Structure 1
Amino acid sequence: MEWTAVTSKKQKKQQKKKANQQQQHQRPQQQQQQQQQRKANSDNAISKKTENRTNPVPKRRRPPRTAAVAIKGVAEGFSYSAALKKLRDGIKLPELEIEKTTIRHAVSGGLLIEVPGKDKATKAELLREKVCSILGDEAKVTRPVIKGDVRLIGIDDSVGTDEVADVIATAGGCKPSEVKVGVIRPMTNGLFTVWAQCPLGAANKASSSGKIKIGWTVARIEILKARPTQCFKCWGHGHLRVKCTSTVDRSRTCYRCGAEGHPALTCTNPVRCILCAEQGKDSNHRIGTRMCKADFRATTGAARPQPPQEAMDTEDAGRRPEETLETNVQSPAVQPGA
């Protein structure tokens, strides 16, 4: 019995020792596997960050927190300081339920009076009417609104531009008169696509779900990235016509083929990007599309481009060079970078 007990204890010690040896042998392998797993997780995280940087999700633009009244002097010798003094004497802001305003100069040289707070749009419209009655023909007084561009994809043959405006206005909560609709263009699958522009808040609301019911179908709707500030005169980016220092004048040039005397909407010539042609690059495309490799900074002699401005800052912002011809025919269906 004693011998059996001693043997059993020796066997248990041997088994325990063997198990410890196996654990010590397996421990480096487990540590190595854990290190490999941590490295793989780290590589995946880095690849995801890199992918997000190369293909960033476009941020949704926020509507402005203020409503603006724009004043642009048109009379000879017009003085903004004298006009402001006259407005301060003739308009009492508390009577319009306006607590405060912010005044700043626009890039185009005009003056902006911004009204914050609740019901800002209604109060700004009342202020505009008062300013018009005081300044009269001395200045052009408007209510600029920051715009948002949307694209409808997959509408049928029966849909017209008026119906597009009504549907976007209903979905976005604005007036149909505030919606500007471009040319309805065919797609390769037999359906149609159209570009439209409306107040930014309405554009965000209408495109929030990515779908919109129009006619007997449900079309896809997407909000487009804001276009950079572009000059009417030289087509360069980063500045406006009023501050253009370039000697090149393309204000009467077709945006599609680069020839003069006709708008892009009625152009039947082969597409040709004159900016790429001037810079020695492939020009077999329309300016501003994905194939366009033109350096828009090289089209101007401006020493330092200005930062991008929202559409409310100037009458030129948000428009295209093809809209500057005397015919004033607009062709907004093709977006830069589309």
Structure 2
Amino acid sequence: MTSSLPKVPKASTSSWATVAGKKKKKKAKEQAPPPLMSSSKAGPSAGPNASPKAGAKAGPRVGPKAGRRVGPKAGFKAGHKERPKVGPKPSRLPTSAAITVTVPEDSDVTLAAVMAAAKARIKLADFGVDTVRTKRAITGGLILEVSGPDCSSKADRLAERMSVALKDLGVRVVRPVKMGELRLKDLDDSVTPQEVQTAVSTSGDCSVINVRVGDIRRSPTALGTVWVRCPLASVRKLAAAKHVVVGWVSARVDYLTSRPLQCFRCLEYGHVRSMCQGTVNRSTLCYACGKPGHRASQCTDPHRCPLCSDKGCKADHRMGSKKCTPPKGKRKPLDPAPEGKVAPTNGATQSDHRFRKLIMEKNREETPMMYMS
């Protein structure tokens, strides 16, 4: 009886060094890119499977720009498209409605007396309002915020009732609406500001009273552009549409970011005219050249910012432009100079570094030991 034994494979006659070398060559051949072909050197037998020349080493191609990535931009996947640049987006709509109560400056009535009379004469429950949130306005008045569903209509009715109930006290009750700014482009020569106002009111679903339109600026080489101010809800709607029909023209719409708070008396930022404590009145100066007697829209003189000029900064620009960077912060007077020394004049402040440096240098020349550490 014979038993069936499994067949044993024949031993390979190749050595281990020979097998390892074959694997290494095969792997290098798979990783190597196809050789570049030129019309002058390529022969009839050249092809993708042509064997390399004798003595040539298999490996990655090395060229004049070795290591530089060719193809899509570094950091992006294949087929990735760069995102288009997006302009500024309009602000969000407020979730509450406001009512402002202001007392005239020459009035003897106080806000305390006004609010006491309002509480005695008006009941919030009649308008569907439980409570209001109060804030102090930057003008010194009082802000009453009505929140909740249908807050706009409730605030409108409450403001109307307060105007009638507090009429004998001589206060000013206003129902303010948050506004935004736009720029309309590509207006033909026949378009008037009244047409723009009507078109914005119709397309933005707002009252004509709440739409302000500036002067249309035209030039010989471009179509007209105009500045528009209207309620924020209308601004968001028109900015999303990107066009508005004005007469026969489909005008382009650009959203303008909100400007910083500015005083129109001293032209400095951070406060309003009614709360201004500055000693300089620049309200009659032109925003373009800094001279009095005309408006910036009618100015033909070279640009010179009146605010940066007084602050000692570079002033070869129009006030409010991107180049306008007056020093920020509160103004603090310099410390009094020692007896017999030069004291700061013309209202110099600690932000006037050049003026302060000149003073210290002159005092140091007279008494150098005083400034030694």
TM (norm. structure 2) is: 0.65
Q: Once the 2 structures are TM-superposed, how far is the Cα of residue 214 of structure 1 from its aligned partner?
A: 1.9
Q: Deviations over 1:221-250 (max 9, x none)?
A: 011000001112221112223333322211
Is 1:17 equivalent to 2:47 in the alignment? no
Which stretch has the larger CA shift, 223-232 or 79-88?
79-88
Is 1:105 equivalent to 2:136 in the alignment? yes
What residue is the counterpart of 1:310 in the other structure?
none
Is 1:180 equivalent to 2:212 in the alignment? yes
- Give the alignment partner of residue 129 of structure 1, picking from 160, 177, 180: 160
Is 1:72 equivalent to 2:128 in the alignment? no
TM (norm. structure 1) is: 0.72
What residue is the counterpart of 2:119 in the other structure?
88
Residues 150 and 189 of structure 1, relative CA distance in 2, 3 Å threshold: same
What residue is the counterpart of 1:239 in the other structure?
271
What residue is the counterpart of 2:295 in the other structure?
263
Is 1:118 equivalent to 2:149 in the alignment? yes
- Give the alignment partner of residue 154 of structure 1, picking from 181, 186, 195: 186
* Partner Cα distance (1:163, 1:215) in 2: 7
Q: Deviations over 1:128-158 (max 9, x none)?
A: 1211122214211111111100000111112
Counterparts of 1:1-338 in structure 2, within 5 Å, are 6=10, 9-10=12-13, 17-18=20-21, 20-22=23-25, 57-74=87-104, 76-136=107-167, 137-187=169-219, 189-290=221-322, 292-295=323-326, 297=328, 301=331
Letter in 2 for 1:224: L
* Partner Cα distance (1:217, 1:262) in 2: 33
Contact 2:318 2:324 in 1 (8 A): no
Letter in 1 for 2:263: C
Q: Deviations over 1:164-216 (max 9, x none)?
A: 11111222211122100000001453310000000111111111132222222
Letter in 2 for 1:60: P
Contact 1:279 1:294 in 2 (8 A): no
Residues 139 and 22 of structure 1, relative CA distance in 2, 3 Å threshold: farther
User: Where does structure 1 lack aligned partners over 5 or more consecutive residues?
Assistant: 46-50, 304-338
Residues 23 and 124 of structure 1, relative CA distance in 2, 3 Å threshold: farther
* Partner Cα distance (1:23, 1:277) in 2: 76
* Partner Cα distance (2:143, 2:311) in 1: 38
Residues 181 and 12 of structure 1, relative CA distance in 2, 3 Å threshold: farther
Higher relative contact order (CA closer than 8 Å, sequence separation 6+): 1
Q: Deviations over 1:25-75 (max 9, x none)?
A: 77xx99xxxx998xx988679xxxxx99xx985343112111111100126
Contact 1:246 1:302 in 2 (8 A): no
Contact 1:235 1:296 in 2 (8 A): no
Residues 162 and 188 of structure 1, relative CA distance in 2, 3 Å threshold: same
Residues 10 and 77 of structure 1, relative CA distance in 2, 3 Å threshold: farther
Q: Deviations over 1:271-318 (max 9, x none)?
A: 32122333445434321123x3331527x6379xxxxxxxxxxxxxxx
* Partner Cα distance (1:287, 1:80) in 2: 37
Compare the two structures and name the one with the higher helix fraction: 1
* Partner Cα distance (2:327, 2:210) in 1: 31
* Partner Cα distance (1:23, 1:247) in 2: 87
* Partner Cα distance (2:278, 2:222) in 1: 44
* Partner Cα distance (2:13, 2:309) in 1: 92
**SS state at 1:191 partner:** strand
Please say which structure displays the higher CA radius of gyration. Answer: 2
Contact 1:211 1:218 in 2 (8 A): yes
User: Where does structure 2 lack aligned partners over 5 or more consecutive residues?
Assistant: 1-8, 32-58, 61-66, 78-82, 334-373
* Partner Cα distance (2:99, 2:294) in 1: 34
Letter in 1 for 2:24: Q
